[in-house]
Structure 1
Amino acid sequence: MESINSFLQPIDFIVVVIYLVVLIGIGYWVSFIKKREEGENLFLAGHSLGWSSIGLTMWGTNVGPSMLIASASIGYTTGVVAGNFGWYAFVFIFLLAMVFAPRYLGAHVQTLPEFMGKRFGQSTRNILAWYTLITILISWLALTLFAGGILVGQILNLPLWISVIILVMIAAFFTIAGGLKAIAYTNVFQMGLLIAVSLILTVVGVVKAGGPMAIFENTPSHYWNLLLPADDPNYPWLAIILGYPVMGVWFWCTDQSMVQSVLGAKNLKQGQLGANFTGWLKILDVALFIIPGITCFVLFPNLSNPDEAYMTMVTRLLPSGMIGMVMAVLIAALVSTIDSALNSLSTVFTMDIYVKKHKPDATQKQIITIGRIVTVLGAAISIVLTLAIDSIKGLNLFDIFQAILGFIAPPMAVVFLFGVLWKRTTTRAVNFTLSVGTIISIGTGIFYLWIFPKEQYTFWPHFLLLSFFIFVFLAVLTFLISLSEKEVEARPHFDYGDLGRPDRKVLWLWAALIVVMIGLYVLFNGH
């Protein structure tokens, strides 16, 4: 089958260049003309977010180019089973709304490290800063660069390492030119465009394949089951049921980027309604991101690389020019994620580690210099990590994403669940789990993915089960260490305020969502 690159016309590359130049132009306008008027609005101004903003922001943060490419890939090879990563999430979004959000908002914090600092002391906050750096480097930078490198490689027919360097250079150029403010200002428009394209791809693909029944009849029956047999080599039901919750708690309840909009809610009711809205939006994940992959399997069953499923649909089904627009929006969204991650990395290291611990009297010039050095180092480290990820054998793009996140998640999931649900949890136990537990968890991941890869060593359980086993081990350790301390260290009582009873409207909407999700699981398990 011909390469993606061979289907692109000069007009597509012209559209990409024009789109990026226009963004840079908007960036200049935002930076210089509108600077005085809107400078303050770049930050969250108090608790001002309503339910619709919260829901769309959470979903938009979760939906991105990496997800489009990876979801189409797994849809092509296994069907709707990957929909669990979208639909099963409602349980943990519910947990955020009903358990975590009341306590986060009751504690009056702006960040989750601040929350844990209030709960367990400054030492925990310091360790969390380092944990955050590792998370940003791996989950936001390296994985985004990996997906972006695959995309750019498909477009330009280049090896991954060159594609990744090109992507980092584009991000650096945007930063220098001031264009990243434009991406921030046009983010909602760009996400809307990406979602619209996915919807068009789904509709056009389904029509071209002969309709929904034709797709159903031309795919294996197991493609339409969310829960697969226990001996399934890809996603056995037990691995999903036990393993995803570890990742779900970490991602939806403890990751700053996901929880930030709930922390900015006008009040608890709006935060809980916003989380509920996210749960409803997550239902769209299967139709928008996985069905295009399944449709691609029907239309183009002989792809040599399933990771090309999304761009195969784009280049075969959309007209020239529109293909260029899709490429431009994907690249701009990737650049936005990369730069935001580099900026977060720089901020966390400079303010939470360098200034707070080592040089509290640092001048503004020293802070800026350190920030720039960390940005360059972060970019270099993330390129190396991306190439390491590329060396993983036996897993497709989606599985690589989920496996790596599965090895990051256990320590944070344990620490936040114990910190919020058990008053007896001690600082020593939490600090041990965050430090030693992270070494154990990520170390296991390194053995699983690189040193003794599952492709060659069959003694490994599924990576989701492995994530669950690590979670249970760290939970037992946290429990035992806490119990072993005869006196809980003297700390001020952590007052959440009046947690109260959820609003009736909140309860009804969550009950409705739970009924719908159970219905979907019944519907997609009878084949």
Structure 2
Amino acid sequence: MEIHELLSITDFVVVGLYILVLVGIGYWASFRNKGETDENLFLAGNSLNWTSIGLTMWGTNVGPSMLIASASIGYTTGIVAGNFAWYAFIFIFLLAVVFAPRYMGARVQTLPEFMGKRFGDSTQNILAWYTIVTILISWLSLTLFAGGILIQQILGIPMWMSIIVLIIIASFFTIAGGLKAIAYTNVFQMILLIVVSLALTITGIYKIGGIETLIAETPSEYWNLFLPADDPNYPWLAILLGYPVMGVWFWCTDQSMVQSVLGAKNIKQGQLGANFTGWLKILDVPLFILPGIICFILYPELQNPDEAYMTMVTKMFPVGMTGLVMAVLIAALVSTIDSALNALSTVFTMDIYVKKFQPEASQKQVIKIGRIVTVLGAGIAIFITLAINSIKGLNLFDVFQSILGFIAPPMSVVFLFGVLWKRTTTRAANFILLFGTIISLGIGILYLWVFPADQYEVWPHFLMLSFYIFVLLSILIVIISIADRTKEKFVSVLNYGQIPKLTRSAKILWGALFVVMIALYMIFNGN
């Protein structure tokens, strides 16, 4: 029986009521904030403490898209995908001790601004375009893809129609003032999703007959973080070498992830907040991957593993509660889509249109261009999403990780060398950002569409490909920097000040996290 056949009228009524409540809150929020200024809102006036930073970073990372995808990969391969959560602590640590002190010391609001100070305006301009591409692909299209799958499961309609339905819902929220509503209720929604996932896990374990039965009835390889080198899904060497490329980009150079640390009261709060995120990432496996494993035991006949999460919801929860979960998932997805469209519009209008073409543009012109870019961005994202949907041989989680794996190398190389190697030149950085991105995305297009890996076995694992691209671009940036004979090279205007060391409390907490993570890897070490 299809998922949409398990839903009742009551569930759809609950979805409608939830949306109406959010719109009502949106009108209230709009009225309440009338007359307030947006000054210092971008970085929250540098007022964030470690708890806010940790919860914000974790919440941004584990939205509904990854929740659905994590259950899918748990269903097919077990906890090996937990590496994408647990291995991350090393790169969150790198953010805390290497990147964040320099970002905050340089007193920048955005990472393109940071690289502008390091390499000049040309690099900052290229990064603005790079940001637009990454927003279109990683935040907008992938979220639309996950949301489209959810709508497809709920309504039983084709993917193209599901995407249009999702865009219409997002537009409805924007028009009705729901954007502010979602912003006001995001924390509540995230807490609700965590509670739901915990309830799914506990209920599922109880239904199976306890943890011992769960372990006994699950294939032994499902509990291994490291799989053999010849494993077709996630060989240990691919994870060991490939994930760091993605980890550096995502945790250390992506504006959406780093922004809350930049908004910290001080570097100590920023470093403690990053540490808190590392602790929270431990919860990803029991909350989001384990429900997929439980679904594999209870419902092994699933034809599509991407249905694992909603299968658990529809079969474990009573009528009405299923509708509430659906409503929260849809609203949170819409929030991400609207935020991505807003970010896309902001970057283009402020960093490209105003800065490069119309410095004297009026507020009316800026708003008009912003609206045009929003519509165009949504249209382009629909086509990219349909292209992603045509990828064969990969489940939702693998689609996410493979695409991110091809986006990551250029940014990881430019930021690592730009921060750690003083001899890196502007020409080298710009070459990697321009041609390195073409190389990386070009290989990704060949891998995913032109000569798909499920049909051509000559391809290495996508994580190994990401690593190879990273190595190639690293060699190129060194060669170009050494060979650069530009007479008037840009001199970095970055001034970090005195880079602070970790405080004693931060050292203790980071040390404890390292011990716990090593212990977890020893427990799930593949024996």
Which category of TM-score, normalised to the shorter sequence, fits these structures? over 0.9
Other-structure match for 2:204: 205
Contact 2:119 2:492 in 1 (8 A): no
Please show how residues 99-498 of structure 1 align to structure 2 within 5 Å: 99-486=98-485, 489-498=489-498
Contact 2:117 2:493 in 1 (8 A): no
SS in 2 for 1:266: coil
* Cα displacement string for residues 42-88 of structure 1 (whole angstroms, at most 9, x for unaligned residues): 54342111100000000000011111110000000000000000000
Contact 1:433 1:478 in 2 (8 A): yes
- 1:491 to partner: Cα distance: 1.7
Please state if 1:519 is matched with 2:519: yes
SS in 2 for 1:16: helix
| Identical residues among aligned pairs (%) | 73
SS in 1 for 2:457: coil
TM-score, normalising length: structure 2: 0.98
Contact 2:43 2:109 in 1 (8 A): no
Contact 2:424 2:481 in 1 (8 A): yes
Measure, in 1, the Cα distance between the counterparts of 2:267 and 2:4: 49
Unaligned runs of 5+ in 1: none
Of 362-371 and 315-324, deviating more is 362-371
CA change 1:393–1:45 in 2 (3 A) is closer
Other-structure match for 1:36: 35
Other-structure match for 1:506: 506
Contact 1:20 1:328 in 2 (8 A): yes
Contact 2:426 2:490 in 1 (8 A): no
Query: What amino acid does structure 1 have at the position aligned with 2:517?
Result: M
Contact 1:194 1:329 in 2 (8 A): yes
CA change 1:297–1:66 in 2 (3 A) is same
Query: What amino acid does structure 2 have at the position aligned with 1:169?
Result: I
- 1:17 to partner: Cα distance: 0.2
Query: What amino acid does structure 2 have at the position aligned with 1:163?
Result: S
Other-structure match for 1:89: 88
Measure, in 1, the Cα distance between the counterparts of 2:49 and 2:7: 42
Query: What amino acid does structure 2 have at the position aligned with 1:247?
Result: M
Query: What amino acid does structure 2 have at the position aligned with 1:319?
Result: P
CA change 1:272–1:8 in 2 (3 A) is same
CA change 1:454–1:46 in 2 (3 A) is same
- 1:512 to partner: Cα distance: 0.5
Query: What amino acid does structure 2 have at the position aligned with 1:264?
Result: G
Of 301-310 and 477-486, deviating more is 477-486
Please state if 1:65 is matched with 2:64: yes
CA change 1:493–1:290 in 2 (3 A) is same
SS in 1 for 2:35: helix
* Cα displacement string for residues 198-256 of structure 1 (whole angstroms, at most 9, x for unaligned residues): 00000000110111111111111100000100000000000000000000000000000
Size of the aligned set, in residue pairs, is 526
Of 233-242 and 497-506, deviating more is 497-506
SS in 1 for 2:414: helix
- 1:496 to partner: Cα distance: 0.8
Measure, in 2, the Cα distance between the counterparts of 1:383 and 1:56: 30
- 1:128 to partner: Cα distance: 0.1
- 1:460 to partner: Cα distance: 0.3
After the TM superposition, which parts of structure 1 deviate over 3 Å for at least 4 consecutive aligned residues?
Answer: 37-45
- 1:31 to partner: Cα distance: 1.1
Of 2-11 and 430-439, deviating more is 2-11
CA change 1:526–1:238 in 2 (3 A) is closer
Unaligned runs of 5+ in 2: none
SS in 1 for 2:463: helix
- 1:489 to partner: Cα distance: 1.3
- 1:331 to partner: Cα distance: 0.2
Measure, in 1, the Cα distance between the counterparts of 2:453 and 2:494: 45
Contact 1:80 1:225 in 2 (8 A): yes
Measure, in 2, the Cα distance between the counterparts of 1:271 and 1:494: 20
Measure, in 2, the Cα distance between the counterparts of 1:177 and 1:276: 38
Measure, in 1, the Cα distance between the counterparts of 2:523 and 2:135: 37
Contact 1:50 1:265 in 2 (8 A): yes
CA change 1:278–1:265 in 2 (3 A) is same
Measure, in 2, the Cα distance between the counterparts of 1:368 and 1:270: 36
Contact 2:249 2:408 in 1 (8 A): yes
CA change 1:221–1:158 in 2 (3 A) is same
- 1:39 to partner: Cα distance: 5.8
Query: What amino acid does structure 1 have at the position aligned with 2:119?
Result: F
Measure, in 2, the Cα distance between the counterparts of 1:463 and 1:492: 35
SS in 1 for 2:46: coil
CA change 1:351–1:39 in 2 (3 A) is closer
Of 42-51 and 129-138, deviating more is 42-51
Measure, in 1, the Cα distance between the counterparts of 2:409 and 2:125: 19
Contact 1:426 1:488 in 2 (8 A): no
- 1:490 to partner: Cα distance: 4.4
* Cα displacement string for residues 426-447 of structure 1 (whole angstroms, at most 9, x for unaligned residues): 0000000000000000010000
- 1:33 to partner: Cα distance: 3.6
- 1:500 to partner: Cα distance: 3.0
Contact 2:53 2:274 in 1 (8 A): yes
* Cα displacement string for residues 125-167 of structure 1 (whole angstroms, at most 9, x for unaligned residues): 0000000000000000100000000000100011110000000
Contact 2:173 2:179 in 1 (8 A): yes
CA change 1:429–1:492 in 2 (3 A) is closer
Measure, in 2, the Cα distance between the counterparts of 1:218 and 1:492: 59
Measure, in 1, the Cα distance between the counterparts of 2:139 and 2:291: 25
SS in 2 for 1:46: helix
CA RMSD of aligned residues (A): 1.1
* Cα displacement string for residues 378-433 of structure 1 (whole angstroms, at most 9, x for unaligned residues): 00000000000010011111000000000000000000000110011000000000
Please state if 1:98 is matched with 2:102: no
Of 445-454 and 493-502, deviating more is 493-502
Measure, in 2, the Cα distance between the counterparts of 1:109 and 1:195: 33
SS in 2 for 1:186: helix
CA change 1:359–1:205 in 2 (3 A) is same
Query: What amino acid does structure 2 have at the position aligned with 1:342?
Result: L
Measure, in 2, the Cα distance between the counterparts of 1:410 and 1:34: 41
Contact 1:424 1:488 in 2 (8 A): no
CA change 1:473–1:492 in 2 (3 A) is closer
* Cα displacement string for residues 473-501 of structure 1 (whole angstroms, at most 9, x for unaligned residues): 00100011011124671425522110132
